[in-house]
């Protein structure tokens, strides 16, 4: 049963990525946030994957989410921006995200981990959370021992949401996950597939931020730290 769910997830991710590849690029401008030294362990580490074709770093949503989380918790929150090309390479992002989580688990036993992703980055998180074995080019699955260290998951504009929430494929994270889809975002809520270009602005990062959804996710996560 678990294998079938994981394979179904992979299929949904492939379809989501295909949709994103033929959609207009989500290009935003943001600065790369330097990472804190690995020698000191923070209270919380957010591992966030940016959206398709955003410049290297956390992207607009990742940046806004971490700023809000710091303000709401007053804790030392370190940000790790998943290192991947953010074009179609979900596998590269998933491998990097999983490696980082495992590294933090090993080096910082008291650090709580928050997983996040927007658009293509949400697909990266989908694979890490719901595929517990090596498959194709995903070679670094999370060990079961890492599950208890993940305090919360925040996903935005997730292309596989139309197929079911992440909890369908990975129920262990159900109570710790918030998935947000803005309005008629054609990636996560394709209400009018033939006219998806008209609704494309609903998928863009500023739409999520202005609608208060990033702040909503930060409230959800802060309550679990």
Kindly state whether residue 66 falls inside one of the protein's structural domains: yes
What's the domain count of the chain?
A: 1
pTM, to two decimals? 0.83
Kindly state whether residue 158 falls inside one of the protein's structural domains: yes
Tokens of 180: 């947000």
Q: Is the pLDDT of residue 211 over 70?
A: yes
* 172-179 contact pairs (CB < 8 A, 24+): 172/147, 173/129, 173/147, 176/150, 176/151, 176/152, 176/224, 177/152, 177/153, 178/152, 178/153, 178/154, 178/216, 178/217, 178/220, 178/221, 179/122, 179/155
| Band (27; pLDDT cuts 50, 70, 90) | very low
| Band (222; pLDDT cuts 50, 70, 90) | very high
Q: Which residues are catalytic?
A: 119, 185, 203
Give the Cα separation of 216 and 210 in Å (integer).
11
Kindly state whether residue 84 falls inside one of the protein's structural domains: yes
Kindly state whether residue 30 falls inside one of the protein's structural domains: no
Mean pLDDT of 49-63: 96
Tell me what percent of the residues of the chain surpass a pLDDT of 90. Answer: 61
Question: Structural domain of residue 79, as residue ranges?
Answer: 2-22+41-222
Kindly state whether residue 57 falls inside one of the protein's structural domains: yes
Kindly state whether residue 34 falls inside one of the protein's structural domains: no
* CATH number for the domain that contains residue 15: 3.40.50.1820
Q: What is the mean pLDDT of the chain?
A: 84
- Residue 22's pLDDT is 43
Question: How crowded is residue 125: how many other Cβ atoms within 10 Å of its Cβ?
Answer: 28
Kindly state whether residue 206 falls inside one of the protein's structural domains: yes
Kindly state whether residue 29 falls inside one of the protein's structural domains: no
Beta bridge partners of 150: 113
When mean pLDDT is compared across 48-57, 69-78, 166-175, the lowest value belongs to: 166-175
Write out the H or E segment, with its range, that includes residue 45: strand 44-49
pLDDT one-digit tens code per residue, 126-175: 999 988 888 888 999 999 999 999 999 999 999 877 666 666 667 889 99
């Amino acid at each position: 049963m678990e294998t079938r769910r994981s394979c179904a997830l992979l299929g949904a991710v492939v379809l989501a990525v295909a949709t994103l590849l033929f959609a207009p690029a989500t290009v935003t401008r943001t600065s790369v946030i330097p990472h804190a030294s690995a020698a000191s362990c923070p209270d919380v580490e957010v591992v966030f994957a940016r959206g398709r074709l955003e410049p290297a770093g956390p992207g607009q949503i990742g940046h806004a989410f971490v700023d809000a989380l710091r303000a709401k918790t007053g804790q030392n929150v370190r940000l790790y921006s998943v290192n991947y090309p953010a074009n179609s390479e979900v596998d590269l992002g998933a491998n990097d995200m999983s490696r980082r989580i495992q590294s933090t688990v090993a080096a910082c036993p008291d650090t709580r981990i928050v997983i996040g992703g927007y658009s293509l980055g949400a697909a990266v998180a989908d694979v890490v959370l719901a595929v517990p074995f090596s498959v194709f080019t995903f070679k670094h699955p999370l060990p079961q021992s890492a599950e208890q260290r993940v305090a919360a998951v925040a996903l935005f504009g997730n292309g596989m949401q139309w197929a079911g929430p992440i909890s369908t494929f990975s129920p262990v994270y159900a109570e710790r996950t918030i998935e947000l889809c803005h309005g008629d975002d054609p990636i996560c809520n394709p209400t009018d597939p033939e006219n998806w270009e008209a609704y494309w602005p609903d998928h863009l990062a500023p739409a999520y931020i202005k609608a208060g959804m990033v702040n909503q996710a930060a409230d959800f996560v802060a309550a679990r730290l």
